[in-house]
Amino acid sequence: MTSLIDSLAASEKTVIVIDIGQAYTKCGFAGDSSPRHIIPTTVTIDGKTKHVFENNSDVMILHDDRLSEFIRSVYYKYNIANSRGRRAVIVESVITPTRIRHLIANILLKQLEALSVVFIPSHLAATYTLGQNTALVLDIGYKEAQIMPITEGIPLAMQFDSLSYAGQAIHKQIQFLLEQHATITHQRTKQPFSSAKIKLSEEILEDIKVRCCFISPFTRAQIYAEDKLISNESKGSFKEAASIDYPVDGDAMIHIPGIVREFACEALFEQNIDGRSIATLVLDSLLEAPIDFRRQLADNILVIGGTAMMPGFLHRFNAELAHLANLPAYINRSVIKQFRFHSPPAHLNYAAWLGGSMFGALDKLESQSIQREKYVENGILPDWFTDQQTS
């Protein structure tokens, strides 16, 4: 007689969808309108919480045992799902190293005995939510802003580009501005934040970003920049936003001035030494796209990623594009001066996951998946970037 557990495992084989990000991972089942869980990409080993991906001098370090333990927790702890005989959809970054893709395939197909797995680039997956097969997708996550055009359902991988202007850059700017302008009260003693020599964790910096910060309108940011050039001590007629108190370490209180709340996010729009910013990513991508698709791409811009959810982001971003498009560097090279943005049917931080959920519910999933038997036999993964077989 078949046991109750075996019966339940056999009756429920819904495809699981996982979008593994550097900071957060979205997971759930195909056909759902939102992920069951959005969790930090961390594992607890020997009582200590550790990141699956670690950044050491801007070099990503992957610990194989951590990834294996993390994927197991996605199945058994968060989704309470049996991995054996179940198909999986992995929504991945367009620049995921081949070694990591092989490691994920090994964990799913060999260790957890999943029936099959399919890898979908996050930019392509996001377009599934629009019913639109041509779009310019900009993903602003934790570490990078990544852009890639999708034309007729085909990712133009050779036009992929990225900049390190994303959530992590805002965190660094918050820490810097706090040391420049903030004060802290501890044990009834108020002192400059820099004197306290406190290095805030990424979790606290993110909480400050989400709870306290916002993005300034384009014209106001320009006024602030002009006043800052005139004097670093006096901001002229510029009126700062209201300050706010943020409790930390139980009995301490950080007094965050308006200048920190409002202008920490300017790190997203600053140009680097090469004159590049997230706005120039869009303009340069349009110039490099096939001329027949430029207007269509400009009318179908999709911005996704958790950082793009900052209050005021899309309004400011559109103003930045309009301003740069009329500068000499672009005005003589492009006739496009207006841009239109899609609003996906999901929060921006899991729009790509939703696309993976939709794909996982399609009949063509089986034909496009990597089957366990074949992978165990030859160890080959199709590489969507080069359209070649890798082993």
Q: What is the pLDDT of residues 167-225, one digit of tens each?
A: 999 999 999 999 999 999 988 899 999 998 888 999 999 999 999 999 999 998 888 77
| Full domain range(s) for residue 87 | 4-127+348-390
Q: Indicate the residue among 331, 358, 377 that finishes a domain.
A: 331
147 and 278 in a single domain? The answer is yes
Least-confidence region, from 2-6, 213-217, 270-274: 2-6
Pair 199, 175: CB distance under 8 Å: yes
204: left (phi over 0), alpha (psi -120 to 50) or beta: alpha
Residue-averaged pLDDT of the chain: 88
In a domain, 339, yes or no: no
CATH of residue 158's domain is 3.30.420.40
Residues 202, 261 within the same domain? yes
Domain count, the chain: 3
- The rounded distance, in Å, linking the Cα atoms of 148 and 305 is 14
pLDDT at 297 over 50: yes
For 315-329, the pLDDT digits (tens) are: 999 999 999 998 888
* Tokens read off for 50: 């550790």
d(CA 27, CA 25): 7
pLDDT over threshold 90, residue 54: no
Q: How are beta strands 24-29 and 37-40 bridged, if at all?
A: antiparallel
Q: Taking a C-beta distance cutoff of 8 angstroms, is the pair 29, 79 a contact?
A: yes
| Across 75-91, average pLDDT | 95
Could you identify the residue written with the tokens 């939709």? Answer: 358
In a domain, 316, yes or no: yes
Is residue 2 pLDDT above 50, yes or no?
A: no
234 and 301 in a single domain? The answer is: no
Which of the listed residues 268, 295, 321 is the one where a domain comes to its end?
268
Instruction: For residues 9 and 118, state if they share a domain.
Output: yes
Which contiguous run of DSSP H or E holds residue 6?
helix 4-11
User: Domain for residue 343, yes or no?
Assistant: no
Buried b (16+ CB within 10 A) or exposed e, 100-121: bbbbbbbbbbeebebbbbbbbb
183's tokens: 């004060």
Q: Which ranges in 86-132 belong to alpha helices (H)? A: 98-105, 122-127
User: Looking at the predicted structure, is the pLDDT value of residue 58 above 50?
Assistant: no
Question: Given a cut of 50, is residue 7 above it in pLDDT?
Answer: no
Distance (Å, rounded) from C-alpha 127 to C-alpha 359? Answer: 11
Average pLDDT of the segment spanning 340-364 = 95
Residues 274 and 258 in one domain: no
- The answer to whether the CB of 293 falls within 8 A of the CB of 154 is no
Percent of the chain with pLDDT over 70: 89
Using CA atoms, how far residue 302 sits from 26, 118, 154, 366, in Å, is 19, 23, 15, 28
Which of 159-173, 200-214, 238-252, 267-281 is predicted with the least confidence, judged by mean pLDDT? 238-252
